[in-house]
Amino acid sequence: MVVRRANRDDLLFIVDAQMAMAVESEGAELDRATLTEGVRAVLEDRVHAEYWLAEEDETPVGMLMTVTEWSDWRNGVVLWIHSVYVVPEARRRGVYSTLYAHLRSQVERSDELMGLRLYVDKRNEPAQRVYEALGMTREHYHLYEWLKD
């Protein structure tokens, strides 16, 4: 399995994966046009985010997105993991673990990167077990948000 940074040619796979992930994890139907423009913004480096793909035989089987957070407490950058998706036929084969190991290796080799964080729907217990098995810990924070309509 190979991990690589996504490029513009991956737009359709990422949009399809995001659509499927939203339905599976949150029962949400996303607006495809809005999502496509959001993914395109990442792929064209217009926002501070990156998509990473896991491939088998040059075929994408999983993905995630990272965004950066500046931590003044650590004087460095924390990578947030978002939008994790593994195609159904590749699940339980270590796809996410491979993506995570790639990111963790980047953090361990970098003086600027301080760690990895993510949030997960509290009902998504299978994902929580995977994250904990990889050494991530449940923290004491609650997530709050306000989004305009």
Domains and CATH numbers, the chain: 2-133 (3.40.630.30)
DSSP string across 40-79: HHHHTT-SSEEEEEEEETTEEEEEEEEEEEEETTTTEEEE
What is the spatial distance between Cα 44 and Cα 7, in angstroms, rounded to a whole number? Answer: 8
Q: Which two tokens stand for residue 46?
A: 């217009």
Q: Cβ(29)–Cβ(46) under 8 Å? A: no
Q: Note the pTM of the prediction, 2 decimals.
A: 0.92
Under 8 Å CB-to-CB from 132, ≥6 apart: which residues?
A: 138
The tens-digit pLDDT sequence of the chain (149 residues) is: 999 999 999 999 999 999 999 999 888 999 999 999 999 999 999 888 999 999 999 999 999 999 999 999 999 999 999 999 999 999 999 999 999 999 999 999 999 999 999 998 888 898 899 999 999 999 988 888 998 98
